[in-house]
Structure 1
Amino acid sequence: MDGAAKPEMGTTARTLVGIRPNAWEVDGKTADISRPQLPPRLCTLPTETKRLTLDLAKSIAIVVDMQNEFIHADGHSAQMGADVSRAREPIAPLVRLLPALRAADVPILWLCTGYRPDLRDVSACLAHVYSSGTRSGLGDVLPRRTDRTLIKGSWGAALVDELAAVASPDDARVDKVQMSGFWGTELEALLRNAGRTTLLFAGINADQCVLTTLQDASFLGFDCVLLRDCTATTSPDFCMRAAVYNVSELFGFVTSSDALLPALDAAVARPA
């Protein structure tokens, strides 16, 4: 998400302080705080409600909770009885889409769940989500496992293998402790500093962590786009339908990777 340094201004070498476009240029005597914007790179694509034009220079993809704990057969969700085959549905479209986003200079941010080893960042209400008193919960060691459930740095908190294989060291990662990625994290600061105001959402669960993060983003003034085929849920079908409906009606736009990919290709091919 780092921006490249601007050319020198005048005859005095200046230092870039911050991340473009929200950076200053300074030297020993002057400071330029005008923060010139990056050149726009427009991209137009269909959504389920309107034809949408967005600026790739202001866009970022946020992929939510595509982690072993929620997707792998040995993860907590599967071992507690969830049909994780549905949670795996976004993998193939994301494997196709992520390289195209990078080719268009759209950064990727992995928004993941992960807790402290001492679980002091877990409220009683949140702990109850994972353990109602009759099943294994956060920090427990599950059958066929040696790591503790959803602890930062654990196997369960890692990206599922197929997406780890296409992740880049240049990608950002934010670990969250609530359903929404904006509570108690650096997510908003990363987005503001990088000048990314259009957020492309993917991941799981569509009706839970994806939706709550998207809602908070909308409340904070970000422009939100849900990639429908790149998100899924293990909840009943009506939950997915309700999430998509509410995004379209209240919080932003809904489209697909099939619609976005040709729009990205056209934007990349367009002369600067």
Structure 2
Amino acid sequence: MATTALIVIDMLSPYDHQDADLLAKSAEEVVPPLADLVARARRRDDVDLIYVNDNHGDFAATRETIQARAREGRRPDLVEPLLPPPDRAFLTKVRHSAFYGTPLEYLLGHRGVERVVLTGQVTEQCILYTALDAYVRHYALKIPKDCVAHIHPELADAALRMMERNMRAEVTTAAECL
């Protein structure tokens, strides 16, 4: 059983929302270290790789639908390196937290996970709210700061400080993470 879960949040985006250009600029820097981290996690037996992605209001959306929309969106170059392997868990979410309305808590418990590594986008929104939900469920937290994309850098910095100070998250880098 894996004791650590690497959770990739909302990286399958068509980048067609109001702040997409700001987010894409940050994601450009995040994709290479995150793709490397995902590759390292796939080679380890003690790390469970889990993808959680927003369904963008389409409650009939499947994994394939979400992937296709992202690949056909404005920035397929940011999506392609992080497409989830077919043998890894893929959950859809409807709000900011990866726990809200998803079976993530059950999945982590069933697999014996004690520590979650949160990656993806958006640092000051979905990563922050997922971190809080993980913290109140007593999971140890790691946040590789070079694997989380933001819209507003100052809010992302504040969110990382909050996760570190208030949720005892270990803010680290991809190279030091696993």
TM over 0.5: yes
Residues 173-199 of structure 1, C-alpha deviations (whole Å, 9 max, x = no match): 110001011111111010000001100
The one-letter code sitting in structure 1 at the alignment partner of 2:38 is L
The aligned residue for residue 31 of structure 2 is: 91
Question: What value does the CA root-mean-square deviation take over the aligned residues?
Answer: 2.2
In structure 1, the gaps of 5 or more residues are 1-19, 21-56, 120-150, 265-272
The aligned residue for residue 111 of structure 2 is: 194
Residue 146 of structure 2 aligns to a residue in which SS?
Answer: strand
Residue 91 of structure 1 aligns to a residue in which SS?
Answer: helix
Larger Rg: 1
1:209 aligns with 2:149: no
Task: Summarize the alignment of residues 118-157 of structure 1 with structure 2, pairs less than 5 Å apart.
Answer: 152=62, 153-154=65-66, 155-156=68-69
Residues 85-107 of structure 1, C-alpha deviations (whole Å, 9 max, x = no match): 21232110012111211222212
Residues 60-96 of structure 1, C-alpha deviations (whole Å, 9 max, x = no match): 10011102323xxxx3356x65452212321100121
Counterpart contact for 1:58–1:197, Cα < 8 Å: yes
The aligned residue for residue 67 of structure 1 is: 12
Distance across 1 between alignment mates of 2:157 and 2:11: 20
Residue 117 of structure 2 aligns to a residue in which SS?
Answer: strand
Distance across 2 between alignment mates of 1:171 and 1:110: 8
Distance across 1 between alignment mates of 2:142 and 2:58: 34
Task: Summarize the alignment of residues 105-116 of structure 1 with structure 2, pairs less than 5 Å apart.
Answer: 105=45, 106-115=47-56
The aligned residue for residue 75 of structure 2 is: none
- Offset of residue 255 of structure 1: 0.6
The aligned residue for residue 256 of structure 1 is: 173
Distance of aligned partners of 1:248 and 1:184 in 2 relative to their CA distance in 1, 3 Å threshold: same
Distance across 2 between alignment mates of 1:115 and 1:206: 18
In structure 2, the gaps of 5 or more residues are 72-77
- Offset of residue 114 of structure 1: 0.2
Residues 191-234 of structure 1, C-alpha deviations (whole Å, 9 max, x = no match): 00000110001111001001101111101111111111001201
Distance across 1 between alignment mates of 2:102 and 2:176: 31
The one-letter code sitting in structure 2 at the alignment partner of 1:88 is E
Residue 181 of structure 1 aligns to a residue in which SS?
Answer: coil
Distance across 2 between alignment mates of 1:212 and 1:117: 21
Larger helix share, 1 or 2: 2
Distance across 2 between alignment mates of 1:258 and 1:232: 17
The one-letter code sitting in structure 1 at the alignment partner of 2:150 is T
Distance of aligned partners of 1:81 and 1:184 in 2 relative to their CA distance in 1, 3 Å threshold: same
Residue 14 of structure 2 aligns to a residue in which SS?
Answer: helix
TM-score by length of structure 1 reads 0.56
The aligned residue for residue 246 of structure 1 is: 162
Residue 26 of structure 2 aligns to a residue in which SS?
Answer: coil
> May I ask how many residue pairs the two structures share in their alignment?
167
Distance across 1 between alignment mates of 2:85 and 2:38: 10
Where relative contact order (Cα < 8 A, 6+ residues apart) is larger, the structure is 2
Counterpart contact for 1:87–1:234, Cα < 8 Å: no
Give aligned-pair identity as a percent: 28
Out of 149, 155, 160, the residue aligned to residue 79 of structure 2 is: 160
Distance across 1 between alignment mates of 2:173 and 2:59: 40
